[in-house]
Amino acid sequence: MNTLKATAGAGRAKESAGRGIRPDGVQIFAVIMLTLASILILVPFLLMLVSSLTEEKTLLVNGYSFFPEKWSLAAYDYIFRSSGMILKSYGYSILVTAIGTTVSLFLTTTMAYPLSRPNFRFRKIYSFFIFFTMLFNGGLVSQYMLWSTVIKIKNTVFAYIIPNLLMSGFYVMIVRNYFTNSIPQEVIESAKMDGCGEIYAFWKIVLPMAKPILVAVGVLTSLAYWNDWTNGLYYITKTELYTFHNLLNRMIQQINFLSSGQASQVAKNVGTIPSVSVRMGIAVIGVIPILVMYPFFQKYFAGGLTMGALKG
């Protein structure tokens, strides 16, 4: 009798275990929806890549297609015809992104840390000032006058780094919330009891424990610097200081000018300019660094933003 009970119990246990690892309807639905979302994300990029490799006349006649009648590398040939300028602008973009991201992370974390400390007397006032900048700003005209005539960073590399990108109040609040909710204050207090100062505790204890949020904010900041072209449009007039996106934006303007028929002396070459496919090629080239960088930081990205935005 006991043997039968034991056998029946073992059977029920195996059946329960089997039901535990078997995906239910919610899991299957979630997998299907995530698969569809992934396809919807990949399809536009694939269409952009195929369009950049399509002959210009085929695009104009047949429109965009995943299976074009004629393939062509004319767009990339037009882009890389001035390879020296492309490489130089790429170098400027990498330099600006590296410096801007590093300085921005430093300023963001050093401002967020005191705001997360409960014994900082003026943290509510400073938090209000930071939140106020997220809602209101002085406008484009006042910003241009400030940076170009007062601080005089026009036609310098600082024009790419400082205006609108060096520090974001939104990122400061996210990092502050992460410091407050995800790093135990007891750890900092015990370090101070052992003789550590605030700077040492911040550098040796808080920052290593805050790696997820630092990576998440760093990725977002680097994307903003890499994709920025408005600062170059407003403050840079020297072509030798163009970043990648500003150079390619100028190339698009030149193509539009030639294609509009206003340049009669070169009208005979208008038909050979791959204007549509060049735009797609520019987009493909611009997204390559993002595709290379993001997989290395993906595991920190979602977790850091989620933990930094849950409370506070």
197-208 per-position pLDDT tens digit? 888 888 888 888
Structural domain of 30: 2-52
Query: Both tokens of residue 92?
Result: 């400027």
C-alpha 264/C-alpha 270 separation (Å) is 9
Task: Report d(CA 65, CA 124) in Å as an integer.
Answer: 55
Confidence of residue 6 (pLDDT cuts 50, 70, 90): very low
Distance separating alpha carbons of residues 108 and 166, to the nearest angstrom: 9
Residue 127, domain member (yes or no) = yes
133 and 232 belong to one structural domain: yes
Residue 16 belongs to a domain: yes
Residues 232 and 180 in one domain: yes
Report the predicted TM-score, pTM, of the whole model to 2 decimal places: 0.75
Predicted confidence at residue 11, as pLDDT, reads: 53
- For residues 197 and 279, membership in a common domain is answered with yes
In-domain check, residue 292: yes
| Structure confidence by residue, pLDDT tens digits, 72-122 | 888 788 777 766 777 788 888 889 999 999 999 999 999 999 998 888 888
**55 phi/psi in degrees, rounded to 5:** -65, 145
65 within a domain of the structure (yes/no): no
- Mean pLDDT value of segment 67-76: 82
* Angle value at C-alpha 143, between 141 and 145, nearest 5 degrees: 70
- At a CB cut-off of 8 Å and minimum separation 6, what does 55 contact? 68, 69, 70, 71, 72, 74, 277
Confidence of residue 273 (pLDDT cuts 50, 70, 90): low
Q: Does residue 163 share a domain with residue 129? A: yes
pLDDT digits (tens, 9 = 90+) for 19-48: 545 567 788 888 899 899 888 888 888 888
Structural domains counted in the chain: 2
Domain CATH code at residue 294: 1.10.3720.10
Backbone angles phi, psi at 242, to 5 degrees: -65, 140
b/e per residue 271-281 (b: at least 16 CB within 10 A): eebbbbbbbbb
